[in-house]
Each structure stands twice: as structure tokens, then as C-alpha cells.
Structure 1
């Protein structure tokens, strides 16, 4: 039977088999040959000669007022007629059960993949610290890499549960917590934009899933560990730049990622202050220079002329790093701990600084939080108070540094050169 080329869809019915599909001829307009055994199943023939199997159906209750929809099952040559018929039967079965395959595909096309959503979330946080951004990229590629091509709605609660246990087994509790917390945040923004999308991490938590409990390393009393750590740093760290960086952390309580990229154009020795742009909280930090910090900075400035010109911008330069400043100190930790006879880690310096401020000197917590740039919760009373100025911080910062000297260096010797 010749198709009616005046219409887009020709009323041709026959049993779709390999022989009959091969015999279908293209015309100057697309047309469809419908199967005479399975209602809604057909083969569309394009003017180019390409043939594709399709399913036509009415969504909803299937009445005449319901919209007419069409789904492509597969291209002939890649899918056999028998295989296409079975797929069509499955699709029509879903329609009979209230499904809408065409609508589902449209929604899937509108949804980004896990990889696209992760990349978008990372790119949107340009105010985050560089270390945080690097961590997010690591979670996306290392822990979620095999999900990156999945649409967001293809990740289930069971997937989350299994992945949490897998990351825990292979990498530990902390990476498992961090990876799922990151993915939870990625989903949150898209759950707002795409109606019906559920956050699988929140579904896992609602079903009884639990992050691993957080455990923080605790230091012994500053009076016990600080003298040991000072001896360990002076004896085990031969690189004077690294040694000064560690002492800078001791006297400020700052995170290593905030100290390492400190540049000279952010230091004003005449005014006695320095400014940190790249902080974990994203809020720039301006702090006073205490006597101890002044000695360290003066020593670094005097030695900067011996460095190559391209490294002189950094307070703590490095000949071996891509950035030009120190990026890694972990190799020293075990050596310091061995000499000190007490476990050492950089964040322990921050813990010691806070303990001295709040327990030894009984300084206000809001002041300590400002000095170490801790995220401050939304406290109504604290919100009414003006923030601490650099001049207001100068005297308590010096008191903390002096008390650290008293505890860590009872003999009163200066910081090692």
C-alpha cells in the first residue's frame, strides 16, 4: 500500500517484521507504518531513509481528551523488530499503570547529571577557600566518579547507603561523612528547581541512616604539650621557613591553609597588622602583629632577598611548590612527635591557642572566635554587639602570645632561628 504523502502520518498497518520493515520506502515527508497486532507500536520512516520504532499513547486516563504522546523505542538496525516490540509492550504496560514514559524522559533531559550538578555547585562557591574547593572536586571525582553520568533522579536511597559503607570501608569514616554531606548540599539546590526531585541523602537520613559520629583530637593541657612541641619543632624541623610557619601557627591559632599563602602585600609592619584573604569561612581576617609575630616576620623579610625574584611575594616561600609558597608540612609531624614524646599535628597548635585564651586567660569566647576566625552562630545577643576591631584585639592577642611563651618556654629563650 502506498503511503498518503499529503499527511505526516500515513495510515498503513501491517505486522512489523524484519522483512516488512526492510520493504518500507521513504517519501518526501516522514510517515509511520503501524503494527496491526500491538496498538500504538509503529515504525517511522524519515525522508533520509532512517527508520525508528515508536510507541504512541495517550497519557493519564487514556481518554480522547488526554494528550497524545510518542516515545522513540530505538532505531532500526540497532534494535530488531522483535526487540522493539518487547520494549513497546513494556512501555505500554507502564502507561496502563498510570505512567508517562515521554514525560519521564523529558524530565530526565531537563535534569542535570550528578557530575554537572557537582561542577555547578563547586563553581557557584567562588568565595570558598581554595582548599575547600579542592576537597569538593576530590569528593566528586574520587568518591562519586562512577555516578557523574547519572541523572540526578537516578540515585536512590539504597545507592546512598551502599556508597556510604563503601567509602567508609575503603577510605574511612571522615571521607564518608564529607562526601555525603557534599552530595546532600549539591542536591538541595536542584530539589528547589525541579519539582518532584527528592534528595537521596536526606531520604537515607530519614530512613535511619546516620553519619559517623565526629571525633576531635584533644590535646593535653598546654602546660604539658607546648614545651614538648617547641623542643620537637626546634630539633626536628631543619627548614627555617617551615619552622617559622609552625611558630606563626602557634602564636595565631590560624589554620595552615590561611597561613601558607600569606603574601607580603597583606602585611603592614609599620601599622602592626596583617590581612588574610583566603579563609575557610570566606570572611577576610585582619589581625594585629604581636611582638612574637613581629620577630618572625622581620626574620622572613630579611631572608626574602635570598630567594628567587618570583618567590619574594610570599612570606613563607617554597622552591618546590607550584604556587611559590609552602603547601605541605605533614612530613614534619611524625618527627616532631617523636622528639617531643607527644603526638603532634598542626591543628593542635590552634587547639592550644584557643585553650590558652579561654581557659588560661578566661577571655570572652566571642573575642577568641574573632581571633581564630571561627564561624560564629546566629546568636541574638552577639548580633547586637559591634565586631571587634584590630586595636581591640591587639592587647588580648599579645597576652595570649606571652602566655604561650610562659607555658612553652619557661626559660624565656626566643623562637628558634
Structure 2
């Protein structure tokens, strides 16, 4: 039912056997809902994104018709300008904790595969300090408190991540009318970042392999699989048995887990297949590496420290294994575009026009490259075992 709502018409609306609504002819989307007990509630109906919403504005006569219509017009204006009325109306009461939750759910998750890292940084560095503070009351100094604390403890890259993630967060608030000014405008990264160039030496690789062989499932086999496949940590962490074709000796990483959003086939060498062959499969569990049988492997940071201690190596990260594999492939004479295909890169020689027109997937070359890399790993492992055995033999021959 649609009528030109006036004070007289609203007053004259009578309850019926069931709830009914009367829409306003003057303001599309605005109306009043009448319940069987005679309660009259103003509402406004609108669509924001894919969501259909119909929030209540006030109860008549506590809220007057003119006041309710004014609120409805303001809400509809926000929608027309791309501002989420759900936040614009409650901007004075929205806390940073609530804002971060909305940002992660509505913005980060659908657009960024590394949204968990953004969530971790924001929760640990900002929400833990200022979670209950109203967003409009957050200042530039509040963000700098968190970034300066990270700099003071020597976490320079973390300080940069705090500023960059907070800037995205407050830009999102600004776009939705939650704030009028981004307090981070003009703030530069606290520290200058230098691209890592760490490549493990042959001796370090051999020591790491030996350390992994002496570690139990899932940590030892997991690290060896990082080495054998040269894939990203997140991709190996979430590796599933259902993605592996043992007959064709392939591992298919689905597009939703690949960093560039494209499915990626990883040929499995004998070295990699031997690792998988030694891993036990749990009933009703698809994860290859798991500590709970319900989720992927966890405790990776602690695992990495243990590998460093056992292997007596330091100064490297798990991602450096991927760079090491790429560098060793280049030393072995493997072409750059083949190595990039193994790593699932779309930069370098496969970027731009070349990437658009060159649709060849280099599958035979990728398999040959990973087999060559596996041979290098096997030789390093064998050489280290022999040298260690020779040292042990010399020790027992000359115990003094």
C-alpha cells in the first residue's frame, strides 16, 4: 500500500488482524509498519551492494513523521553516494574493534589472499591497544605509538606493515563516510626496506636436509617439500591429498590458493614423491601436513628455529628456500622463463606483452627443471652423509 504520508494519515492508520505496511508516496523507500497491537514504526528500505536492508528509524509518535522522513532521506543519500548507512548512522559509536572486523570481512577477505596477515597485524598492534576507542577519536599519534614500539624492539618491517595496513583501513573508513579525514595522510613508512637476497650455501642446504630427515612428521617432511617443489609456504602448508595425482606425478594448486589467482601445476620429482610416500594419511583428513587432522600445519615459526638449531645454520627464512631453489636452477643452466613457470611467477620475462601472447605452459621443461633440482638435493644429502660418516669413523679410530 502506498500513500502520501502526513501526520493526519499516520494518525488515522488502524491496526488489522496482521502486520501491514504503508509506503510513502513522497519518499520512495520510506514507510511505516503497523502491528496488530497498534504500534507504528517508521522504516526505510534500500539496497547496499547485494544486501537488501530495511532498518527501523523510530516509533510514532515518539519520533515525528518529519524527523523520520529526514533520517530516511539522509540514509538514501548515503546510499546514492556509495556510503554504507549502517556505519554512517552509527559512526560516533563504532569502535576500532568493530571497524577492523568489518574491514577484514567486507574488504580484505574478498580482495586479498594474505588477509590473515593484515588481520594479525591490525589485531595485535592496534585493536589490542585501542580496540574500544571510537574510530573518529583515533589520531595519527595512536598509530605512531604502535609503529614506534615495533621500531624500538627492532621489528622494522613490522613497523612498516602497521602503517601500511592502518592506512588501508582508514582509507576504507573514509570511503564509507565513517571518518572525514584519514589521520595517516602524509605518513611515510618508518623504515626503508631492502629486498632479501639470502641464498643458502651447499653446506647449509645439506645440513638443513639432514636436520629435516631427523625430525618427525609433519615438520621434517613439510620443510623438505618446500625445498623439493620450490612453492610458496602458504601453498605447501595447505597442500591436500586430493590435489595430488600420483599416476601423473603432478600436484595441482587451485586458483583460489595461488597468489596470482591462477591454478598451477607442479611436477613431482622422485625426491618429492619419496617425501610423500613416507607421510601417513589420516582417515577423513585431506591435509598432507597437519597437527590436528582438522586444519593445516601450525607452529611453523617454532619449527624453523628448531631446524636452525639442529642444522647449526642461521640468518635464513623459509621463503629463502624458494629463492635458493631458483638460484640453483639458474646455476644448473635452466632458462629463466622455465624457472619462473616453476615458481608460478608472472613477472620478469613472462610479464607484459610476452605474458599475454605466450600461452605455452612449459610443462616438460618444468618437470625437467624440478628433476634437476632434485638431483642437486640428493647429491648434497649423499655428500653430507658420506662426510659425516667419514668424520665419525676418524673419531672412533682416533678417540683422543
TM-score (norm: length of structure 2): 0.62
Distance 2:179 2:289 in 1: 51
1:406 aligns with 2:348: no
In structure 2, how many angstroms separate the alpha carbons of the residues matched to 1:263 and 1:139?
Answer: 28
Aligned with 2:204 (options 225, 238, 243): 225
- Specify whether residues 315 and 153 from structure 1 end up closer, same or farther in structure 2 by C-alpha distance, changes over 3 A only: same
* Number of the residue aligned with 2:158: 175
CA spacing shift, 1:116–1:366, aligned 2, 3 Å: farther
In 2, are the aligned partners of 1:167 and 1:175 still within 8 Å (CA)?
A: yes
| 1:347 and 2:326 aligned | no
SS at match of 1:409: helix
Aligned to 1:144: 126
2:363 to 390, 394, 417: 390
- Cα RMSD, aligned residues only: 3.8
Does residue 295 (structure 1) correspond to residue 271 (structure 2)? The answer is no
Residue matched to 1:119: 101
SS at match of 1:126: helix
Task: Provide closer, same or farther for how the CA distance between residues 204 and 348 of structure 1 changes in structure 2, counting only shifts above 3 A.
Answer: closer
- Supply the distance in 2 between the matched residues of 1:219 and 1:408 (Cα, whole angstroms): 21
Where does residue 307 of structure 2 map in the other structure?
Answer: 336
Alpha-carbon distance, 1:196 to partner:
8.5
Contact residue 167 and residue 176 of structure 1 kept, 8 A: yes
SS at match of 2:152: helix
Q: How many angstroms does 1:292 deviate by? A: 1.3
Q: Distance in 1 between matches of 2:134 and 2:358?
A: 47
**Offset from partner CA, 1:130-179 (integer Å, 9 cap, x none):** 7x333222223221114445555543434433332134336832322112
Moved more, 109-118 or 278-287: 109-118
Instruction: Specify whether residues 114 and 322 from structure 1 end up closer, same or farther in structure 2 by C-alpha distance, changes over 3 A only.
Output: farther
| Distance across 2 between alignment mates of 1:374 and 1:118 | 31
For residues 119 and 376 of structure 2, the distance between their equivalents in structure 1, rounded to whole angstroms, comes to 40
**1:22 alignment counterpart:** none
Task: Verify the 8 A CA contact 2:271 2:374 in the aligned structure 1.
Answer: yes
Point out the structure with max Rg over C-alpha: 1
The one of 251, 258, 269 aligned to 2:235: 258
1:323 match: 294
Aligned mates of 2:306, 2:178 — CA distance in 1: 55
Residues 404 and 379 of structure 1: is their aligned pair in 2 closer, same or farther, counting only changes over 3 Å? Answer: farther
User: Does the CA-based 8 Å contact 1:356-1:404 persist in structure 2?
Assistant: no
Aligned to 1:286, what secondary structure does the other structure show? strand
Partners of 1:202 and 1:367 in 2: how far apart? Answer: 42
Rounded to whole Å, the distance in 1 between the matches of 2:313 and 2:121 is: 32
Larger deviation, residues 322-331 vs 269-278: 322-331
Gaps of 5+ in 1: 1-46, 49-106
- Is the Cα contact below 8 Å between 1:230 and 1:408 reproduced in 2? yes
CA contact (8 A) 2:88 2:178 kept: no
Q: 1:211 and 1:139 mapped to 2: Cα distance?
A: 15
**Kept after mapping to 2: 8 A contact 1:275/1:287:** yes
Deviation string, structure 1 residues 347-395 (Cα, Å, up to 9, x no partner): 232222122123x134344433332234637634444322535344222
Classify 1:151/1:412 alpha carbon distance in 2 versus 1 (closer, same or farther; 3 Å). same
Q: Give 1:369's aligned residue.
A: 340
Gaps of 5+ in 2: 1-60, 63-86, 387-400
Give the alignment of 1:18-97 within 5 angstroms: none
Alignment of 1:152-191 (within 5 A): 152-169=135-152, 172-191=155-174
1:274 CA displacement: 0.9
State the shift of 1:181 in Å. 1.2
In structure 2, the residue matched to 1:75 is none
Query: Are the structure 2 counterparts of residues 265 and 172 from structure 1 closer, same or farther at C-alpha, using a change threshold of 3 Å?
Result: same
Instruction: Verify the 8 A CA contact 1:191 1:198 in the aligned structure 2.
Output: yes
